[in-house]
Amino acid sequence: MLLSCLRTRICSMTTGLLSGYCRYRCGGMRLVGNANLRRASSRIEVLFGVAPCFIALSRGRRVCHALYTKESRVQQRPGSQELPRRAAELGVPVRRVSKRELDKLSGGRVHQGYCLEVSPLKFTPLDLRTAEEEAHSDGCRLWLLLDRVQDPMNLGAILRSAYYFGLDRVVVGLHDSCPLSPVVSKASAGAMEDLDVYASETLPELIKVKIGQGWHVVGTVGSASEKISVPVIPCSEFQYSQPTVLILGDEPFREVQGTLTYLPTMQEDTIQTLLGPVALSPGNEASGLSPQIQQLCHSFLTIPPGQRRLHPGIDSLNVSVSAGILLHVLVSSMKMHQCCPSHIGSESDP
């Protein structure tokens, strides 16, 4: 008798859970019952903010499960209905909820009245064989390598700059980078939703492949106390004419003193040897570039400070700010030499 009752109770619970599932073309199998149960699954996360949600819907790289928008009795501003309209066109359910629920969905972050339940976005794998096969591909002019960038806000800001300047490729270390999370997407203003971010099992081996293809590897200065045997180049003096790999370190740009050799003191023929393919690698914000990567760099870039005497602790630039400055300098130099990333339109000669 007791066993019979238990079986009846278990069957009832199972039926209730299964009734929470349904199918629709955009999302495949989806839980529409308990919201907390849905998000407990590792296959669902919540984007927040207008730009990440709209671009994710438009690009179609994720499975979109439901759009949540704030219920309001006041007239909404012009254009505010574009996102729900887009979701409805794609067959994604639109649910109007309270601000409290949106705050809960976004973890208390700024959501601008919209949250979107989606499948996670993964890195695009980049193995060494693929990198070797790309040796003669057209347009691969500027790569950005991120060494141990683990702060999602920094990663998002860097991706926004990389997207804006049209880099050919952004590569992170597969095992030492933060994931492509909703926080990264919001910090990138949605650029992450439209940008392929590659991941390599081992950045040092990838750099060696690019060196073998004739690329020039440029690192960043980590601190004034470091003794570096290769040239250190103020970014305003760097001249670019061929493909490049840029590598950023964490808190890489401190005031540089006389222990380093600057490029302007070198002979012209030595300067010309630096004008080859380049890789840029920003590191994390605690220890700069790893020793393995430092040893592979042909030269280092630095951003000299202004005239102000810098207080210890604020004598450096944030890695994402540094990335924006350096990418602007490199892309500007590339345009002057009519050598641009494949995503940047170069103007023809008059």
Q: What is the pLDDT of residue 159?
A: 97
**The pLDDT of residue 313 is above 50:** yes
Torsion of CA 181, 111, 162, 225, to 10 degrees: -70
Among 236-240, 297-301, 340-344, the range of highest mean pLDDT: 297-301
Residues near 238 by Cβ (< 8 Å), separated by ≥ 6?
218, 263, 274, 301, 329, 330, 333
What does pLDDT average to over the chain?
76
Q: Which of 42-46, 211-215, 287-291 has the highest mean pLDDT?
A: 211-215
**Contacts for 273 with CB less than 8 Å, ≥ 6 apart:** none
The one-letter code for the residue type at 93 is P
- The pLDDT, as a whole number, for residue 22 is 34
- 53 and 114 Cβ atoms separated by less than 8 Å: yes
Alpha-carbon span 249 to 169, nearest angstrom: 18
A 10 A CB-CB count for 170 gives 24
Mean pLDDT over 228-249 rounds to 82
Beta strand residue intervals within the chain, DSSP E: 21-24, 28-31, 45-48, 64-70, 94-97, 114-118, 124-125, 142-146, 169-173, 197-200, 216-220, 232-234, 244-248, 278-280, 299-302
